[in-house]
Amino acid sequence: MAERPNVVWLTVDSVRADRTTVGGHVRDTTPNLERIADDDRGTNFSACFAPGIWSPATTASVLTGTYPSHHGLGGRNEVLPPELTTVPELLSAEGYRTAGVSANPWFNGSTGLDRGFDRFEHLTKENIWSVGLGTLLRFFLGARRYSAGYTTDTSIHRTEFLVNGLAKRWLQSFEESEEPFFLYLHTKGAHNPYYPPDEHVDAFVDELETTGAEARQVALEVQDNALEGIAEGLDTEREAERYHTYRLVYDSLLRHVDAHVGDLFEYVQSLDLGNTVFVVTSDHGDLLGERGLLSHRLAVCDPLIHVPMVVHGLDTNLAADPDDVIGHVDLMQTLLNVAGANTDGFQGVDLRSETRGFAIAQRSREYGQKSIDRIRDRNPDFDVSEYHTGAVTALRTQEYLYSRSDDLQRLVRIPGVGENVVENNPEVAEELRTLLEETVDSFADPVHSSRDAERSDAVEEQLSDLGYV
C-alpha cells in the first residue's frame, strides 16, 4: 500500500458481534455488512473486542490509541486530558484533512473528543439544519421509513439517514482534493431504546404471535422498566416470550442500521476517492438479559465487548489472521502507521507485524458505582457479589475471559458468559492474571483532567433520551 489511504471509520453504537450475520447469528440481521466483508478487498475480524463497555471510554481509546485506565474518559475524567494527542491531530500533522460527524452525546466538544478535527458536527435538534436542506427534507418526508415518524418523542428517533447525508456532502468535497482524508462517524446505531423504523420493524415478525409494531412497544416497556427489572431480578425464563420479543426487536433494529451501513459504503465506492479504507465497528454491545442485566452497565463480558469489525480496502499484508483476537486500538495503530503518522504513545500493536493473542477491556470504578447506585435506589438489597464494584480490567483470549478488580476475580470459559470457573482453574487464572498485570504495567502512567464537562441543553436532552441522566 504505497499510496497513503483515505480512512472512513464508522462506529455504529451498541452492536453485539453475535447478533450479526458476520458473527453467525441465526437471523440475517446484517446482510450489507456481510457483503462488505465477503468482497475481495473485505475482511471480517471475527474476534474484535472493545476496550470499554460504553461510548466515552471506547471512543476516547479509539481516538487516542490508549486504554481507559490511561485516558480516564468515562471514569475519573469528564474531559479528555490535554496532553493526549488525538488521531485527527496526528493525521493532520501528516497532511490529512480530518472530519467528524457524531450523533452521540459523548462524542462532542463537551468531552474534548472533537479535538483536532478540521470539521466537526455533533447533530442535535439545535443544528439539524447542518445536514443540508435536501437531506432534511427527504428525512421528514420519509420519517416513518428512516425514523420513528412524526412523534415528538426524540428518544425513539433514529438519525443514521442524517449522519449519512452530512457525510456524503463532505465526501463529495474530499473527492475534489488531492490530500488524503480521515472521516470518523459515530451513529446512534442500535442504542436503546430499541425502536426500528417501519421499514424494518417486521423483518423477523414471523417468529412472533404479534405484529412488529406491537413488539416494538413491548421492547419499549422492557427498556422503560430496565433498572427496576434488574434491581428485582430479571425473570427471563418465566417471561421467556417477552424477552424473546425484546431480543427480536433489537435484531430488527440491526437490520435498519445495516441498511444505512450499506448505503454509505456504496456511496464511498461510487466516488473517485482513490485508495480508501472503510471500517465498520461498534463501541460496545448490549446485554439482553445475560447476567441479569440489560443495556451496557456493570459487567465486563462478551455481550458488551465482543463487537463486529469489518474492514474494506486495507490492502496490506497482516500478521493477524481474520480470526485472531484484536482490539480497536490495534487496528487504529495499524492504520496510522500505514498513513505515516506517529504512534509512539499508542498502547496497541501494529497488526502488520504482530498480534498479541489477547485483547484488553476495562470499566472504571466510577461508571460501575453509578450503575450500582441507580440499581440500589430501586432495591437497596441488590446483591453485587458477582459483579466487580471497583475498577476492572479484563483480558480476553480465544478460550477465556479473565477479569480482575480489587474485590473480585472472574474467569469465564468461552462461549460462557456468567459462570465463574476461577476456583476450578487456578493455574489458568494465575497465568492470565500475570499476563494482564504485565500488560497493564507496560502502559504509561494515567493522565488526569481537572475540567468539568460543559454540556448544552441539547446534549443533556440527548443523554436523557439514552437513559444516562
B/e letters for 433-460, b = 16+ CB within 10 Å, e = fewer, are bebbeebbeeeeebbebeeebebeebbe
436 closest CA partner among 373, 361, 382: 361
Specify the pLDDT at position 468: 86
Cα-Cα-Cα-Cα dihedral sign, residues 20, 22, 28, 31: positive
Tens of pLDDT, residue by residue over 59-97, are: 999 999 999 999 999 999 999 999 999 999 999 999 999
pLDDT > 90 fraction of the chain, expressed in percent and rounded: 93
| Mean pLDDT, residues 7-22 | 99
pLDDT band at 1 (very low <50, low <70, confident <90, very high): very low
DSSP-derived 3-state class of residue 280: strand
pLDDT band at 450 (very low <50, low <70, confident <90, very high): confident
Count Cβ atoms within 10 A of the Cβ of residue 132 and give its class: 0-12 exposed, 13-18 middle, 19 or more buried: middle
Q: How far is CA 266 from CA 79, 230, 233, 295, in A?
A: 35, 41, 45, 31
More confident residue, 178 or 341: 341
The interaxial angle of helices 240-270 and 212-224, nearest 10 deg, is 110
20 closest CA partner among 397, 309, 328: 309
Beta bridge partners of 395: 360, 402
pLDDT band at 10 (very low <50, low <70, confident <90, very high): very high
Specify the pLDDT at position 42: 98
Residues 48 and 327 sit within 8 Å (Cβ to Cβ)? yes
Count Cβ atoms within 10 A of the Cβ of residue 423 and give its class: 0-12 exposed, 13-18 middle, 19 or more buried: exposed
User: Whole-number mean pLDDT of the chain?
Assistant: 96
Does the structure show a pLDDT above 80 at 2?
no
Residues 458 and 125 sit within 8 Å (Cβ to Cβ)? yes
pLDDT band at 51 (very low <50, low <70, confident <90, very high): very high
Beta bridge partners of 403: 394, 410
More confident residue, 453 or 101: 101
Q: Which three cell numbers stand for residue 407?
A: 474485590
Instruction: Check residue 77 and report its DSSP letter.
Output: B
Tens of pLDDT, residue by residue over 345-402, are: 999 999 999 999 999 999 999 999 999 999 999 999 999 999 999 999 999 999 999 9
| Mean pLDDT, residues 270-283 | 98
Count Cβ atoms within 10 A of the Cβ of residue 427 and give its class: 0-12 exposed, 13-18 middle, 19 or more buried: exposed
Does the structure show a pLDDT above 80 at 276?
yes
Does the structure show a pLDDT above 90 at 4?
yes
Specify the pLDDT at position 177: 87
Specify the pLDDT at position 452: 87
Q: What is the pTM of this model?
A: 0.97
Tens of pLDDT, residue by residue over 134-190, are: 999 999 999 999 999 999 999 999 999 999 999 999 999 999 888 999 999 999 999
Distance between CA atoms of 201 and 199, rounded to whole angstroms? Answer: 6
Q: Where are the domains of the chain?
A: 6-362
Tens of pLDDT, residue by residue over 105-148, are: 999 999 999 999 999 999 998 999 999 999 999 999 999 999 99
Most distant pair of Cα atoms in the chain: their distance: 62
Q: Which three cell numbers stand for residue 243?
A: 424477552
| CATH fold of 6-362 | Alkaline Phosphatase, subunit A (3.40.720)
pLDDT > 70 fraction of the chain, expressed in percent and rounded: 100
Q: Which three cell numbers stand for residue 372?
A: 450500582
Residues 280 and 10 sit within 8 Å (Cβ to Cβ)? yes
Distance between CA atoms of 451 and 366, rounded to whole angstroms? Answer: 16
Helices (H), 20-157: 31-38, 55-64, 68-71, 87-92, 133-141, 143-146
